[in-house]
């Protein structure tokens, strides 16, 4: 009877081999899951770009259809202020009072993880939209879309850049 209680008491807990096996399984799963998470996060950021720039583009195209021009070029280098004004971390709020953005009737849905700006050529016939920020796997990323004379957009340019 004494031997049975000693044997039961000795079998409590896990062996070192069992713990190492569990840690190995968890590490293998994490190695497989991290790239998937990064791809999902990158898709979410691309969806944000499509959502925000789509709204901006629609506003400019409506203006072009009504007036024959994308708008009045902005002073200085022609670029609007970055919006959100500060570099977003996990999320930043849209600033409707930022230079060049006051006439837009929309606030984007939720917080933003990238910064946006636009440029109108001096003749008002060329519009360039740009999104920059940190993308998962690409530390400094820029997406540029150009529209000319109300026609179909020129294919976008996506590139890593130095900010």
Domain ranges of the chain: 44-160
Instruction: Please count the residues of the chain.
Output: 163
| Long-range CB contacts (within 8 A, 24+) of 151-156 | 153/57
pLDDT at 133 (0 to 100): 85
Higher pLDDT, 10 or 43: 43
Residue 108: which of 88, 125, 135 has the closest Cα? Answer: 88
Each residue of 48-106: pLDDT tens digit?
A: 888 888 888 888 988 899 999 998 888 888 899 999 887 767 788 888 888 888 887 77
Q: Is the pLDDT of residue 163 over 50?
A: no
Higher pLDDT, 110 or 6: 110
d(CA 58, CA 61): 5
Q: Say how far residue 78 (Cα) sits from the centre of its chain.
A: 24
pLDDT at 8 (0 to 100): 56
The per-residue DSSP string of 56-120 comes to HHHHHHHHHHHHSSS-PPPSTTSBPPPBSSSPPSS-B---TTSTT-TT---PPSS-BSSEEEEEE
């Amino acid at each position: 009877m004494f031997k049975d209680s000693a044997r039961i008491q000795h079998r409590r807990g896990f062996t070192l081999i069992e713990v190492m096996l569990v840690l190995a399984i968890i590490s293998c799963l994490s190695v497989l899951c991290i790239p998937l998470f990064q791809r999902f996060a990158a898709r979410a950021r691309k969806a944000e770009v499509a959502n925000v720039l789509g709204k901006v583009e629609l506003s400019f195209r409506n203006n072009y259809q009504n007036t024959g021009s994308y708008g009045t070029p902005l002073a200085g280098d022609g670029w609007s202020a970055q919006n959100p004004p500060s570099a977003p971390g996990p999320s930043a709020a849209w600033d409707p009072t930022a230079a060049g953005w006051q006439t837009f009737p929309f606030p984007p849905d939720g917080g933003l993880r990238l910064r946006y700006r636009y440029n109108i050529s001096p003749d008002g016939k060329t519009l360039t939209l740009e999104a920059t920020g940190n993308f998962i796997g690409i530390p400094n990323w820029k997406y540029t879309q150009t529209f000319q004379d109300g026609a179909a957009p020129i294919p976008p340019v996506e590139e890593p850049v130095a900010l």
